[in-house]
A = this chain, B = another copy of it.
């Protein structure tokens, strides 16, 4: 019988290094051509697989072309948000495994966040149930860094590097005038404040901007915020405030929903805008100061120029480790990161039971958030700093712009 084939898919929102994880899986699989036959990719995740959209990496990205994955943001294979049914008796499962058998799949990889680990969990449990020998592993990715049982997730370091770099640039840009002004920077992370906390890395010296940092882990109080800003003007006329998109008051109500009670668009629908915009208006009206808000938006997860070399290398490492682990017979696991030491920073890969991981959220420890709720402690900086290190050289195309690889 022919050697078993490997298939890999990507799922959920992309990151700047989700394709580096893919590169790790594919290149390591090629290195084991004595044990692995074809290396397939499912286009648009498990949903695409069900629709028979599949590619063969040896044909699609031969030779050096594969290298470009490491500096291409977005999900090369495309993504989906398809959730497998809870009931393992659902007919989709035999349909999937029938396809696996037809394609002689022995190894299944899914690169993604929480929901993707749920898919890994279900497929591995179903495989066990029907006594299939298909092995299923999950490769973590998420800029939100909210997966448990891993020191951090691939994708977070690059997003944190983007946030730290960009906030530092915004601080420099905003400091050119002498008049009192506030800039609100709205950062991704609805339930977990890891990325917003990373804005503290932007400080060039102790006491530098951003003066105020608010995470969703702590209830947000509008009146306290206004006082915090007023106090900050004692330090400088230019005040930079970093807020998570998910900040909410003590009742749990999101700050970004404060204005939607009032503002409606011409269709009578609620206006959808972020908390940054709300706070900007609030400052203008209550403190009578110049205010501006900047929503970092999707650039946080797709900037190629701020890919962290450490993050990129670790994403590749996780991919390679996964292939070695699956060839060792592991299934139903997620590749995890174990920090051996902070200084010098040393990291190894581990394996964790995927059933313990999916559908859970790791938030920033309250002990890493300042007592006043508007800054982070040194422990967070010690944790985050190694993850944003290293500049990646992005290859340019004939037009002088980043050369990204893409499906035709």
Binding site for B on A (CB under 8 A): 10, 14, 44, 48, 72-75, 78-81, 161, 164-166, 168-170, 172-178, 183, 201-202, 204, 258-259, 261-267, 269, 271-273, 277-278, 280-281, 284-285, 292, 294-295, 297-299, 301-306, 385, 388-391, 394, 396-397, 399-402, 404, 406
Report yes or no: A164 in contact with B401, Cβ–Cβ below 8 A: yes
Contact of A265 among B263, B394, B399 (CB under 8 A): B263
Report yes or no: A302 in contact with B400, Cβ–Cβ below 8 A: no
Chain B residues whose CB sits within 8 angstroms of the CB of A292 once the complex forms: 298
- Most chain B CB neighbours (cut-off 10 Å) among A168, A397, A400, A404: A400
Report yes or no: A402 in contact with B266, Cβ–Cβ below 8 A: no
Q: List 16 A-B contacts (CB under 8 A).
A: A73-B169, A73-B172, A80-B177, A161-B401, A165-B304, A170-B299, A173-B301, A204-B404, A262-B265, A269-B284, A269-B285, A271-B281, A294-B295, A294-B297, A391-B394, A391-B396
A175 to chain B, nearest CB (A): 7
Q: How many copies does the complex hold?
A: 2
Bound CA span A173–B143, Å: 13
Report yes or no: A302 in contact with B74, Cβ–Cβ below 8 A: no
- Most chain B CB neighbours (cut-off 10 Å) among A169, A259, A284: A169
Bound CA span A99–B73, Å: 54
Chain B residues whose CB sits within 8 angstroms of the CB of A74 once the complex forms: 169, 172-173, 175-176
Report yes or no: B14 in contact with A401, Cβ–Cβ below 8 A: no
- Most chain B CB neighbours (cut-off 10 Å) among A73, A264, A385, A399: A399
A111 to chain B, nearest CB (A): 12
Report yes or no: A281 in contact with B285, Cβ–Cβ below 8 A: no
Minimum CB distance partner of A267 in chain B: B285
Bound CA span A81–B177, Å: 8
Contact of A78 among B178, B273, B401 (CB under 8 A): B178
Chain B residues whose CB sits within 8 angstroms of the CB of A80 once the complex forms: 177-178
Chain B residues whose CB sits within 8 angstroms of the CB of A298 once the complex forms: 170, 173-174, 183, 292, 294
Bound CA span A298–B380, Å: 28
Minimum CB distance partner of A12 in chain B: B176
Bound CA span A396–B306, Å: 12
Chain B residues whose CB sits within 8 angstroms of the CB of A281 once the complex forms: 265, 267, 269, 271-272
Report yes or no: A259 in contact with B285, Cβ–Cβ below 8 A: no
Bound CA span A305–B10, Å: 28
Minimum CB distance partner of A15 in chain B: B173
Minimum CB distance partner of A169 in chain B: B302
Minimum CB distance partner of A175 in chain B: B74
Known contacts being A262-B265, A399-B201, is A303 close to B78, with CB within 8 Å? no
A50 to chain B, nearest CB (A): 12
Minimum CB distance partner of A293 in chain B: B297
Chain B residues whose CB sits within 8 angstroms of the CB of A305 once the complex forms: 165, 303, 305-306
Bound CA span A264–B271, Å: 10
Bound CA span A312–B334, Å: 46
Report yes or no: A204 in contact with B265, Cβ–Cβ below 8 A: no
Bound CA span A73–B266, Å: 39
Report yes or no: A400 in contact with B406, Cβ–Cβ below 8 A: no
A355 to chain B, nearest CB (A): 27
Chain B residues whose CB sits within 8 angstroms of the CB of A404 once the complex forms: 168, 172, 204
Bound CA span A293–B104, Å: 43
A41 to chain B, nearest CB (A): 13
Chain B residues whose CB sits within 8 angstroms of the CB of A295 once the complex forms: 294-295, 297
A144 to chain B, nearest CB (A): 15
Known contacts being A170-B298, A397-B204, is A265 close to B259, with CB within 8 Å? yes
Bound CA span A303–B269, Å: 35
Contact of A299 among B294, B385, B391 (CB under 8 A): B294
